[in-house]
Amino acid sequence: MSQYATGITVVSTVVDGRRHGLTVNSFASLSLQPLLAMFGCALDAALHEPLSRSGTWAVSVLAADQQPAAAYFATRERPGPAGTDQFDGWPCRPGPVTGAPLLDGALAWMELRTWATYAGGDHTIVVGEVVSMEVGPERPPLLYFRSDYRA
């Protein structure tokens, strides 16, 4: 699987005023009518339970210069005390529809409402209907290939 280059996103949600995020390279477009996208969320990921509770989420498509954000949100044991808002210190804004954090400087942003979920081995496949989206300035994307970040 490491031979397949993928884009890098940060999927986020907000529950009870706390913002949660996870680096995801399994994000993909699924359908145009209705507009659906999907990703795989590990069952043991810190995002899994809040995402299940919220029913809404956002995606920030990362640019090449956002590798630090990708690395941070991919780290299971993030710095800071338990219960800390995962987006503290990261420049972002709340999505206009879901309130989920959208990272500043991303190539594109989407907000989604969970459409369906499916068991997928040690992951849940989450399908969402796009309810809002925006495109940022064109810049090189952040990619993942052969177990390393690339531009």
State yes or no: cis peptide before 34, omega within 30 of 0.
yes
Domains of the chain: 8-143 (2.30.110.10)
Tens-digit pLDDT profile for residues 40-53 = 999 999 899 999 99
Radius of gyration of the chain (CA): 14
- In this prediction the pTM is 0.93
Q: Check residues 84 and 95 and name the one with the higher pLDDT.
A: 95
Buried b (16+ CB within 10 A) or exposed e, 20-43: bbbbbbbbeebeeeeebbbbbbbe
Residue-level pLDDT at 78:
66
Tens-digit pLDDT profile for residues 7-40 = 999 999 999 999 999 999 999 999 999 999 999 9
- Residue 65 DSSP class: G
Residue-level pLDDT at 112:
98
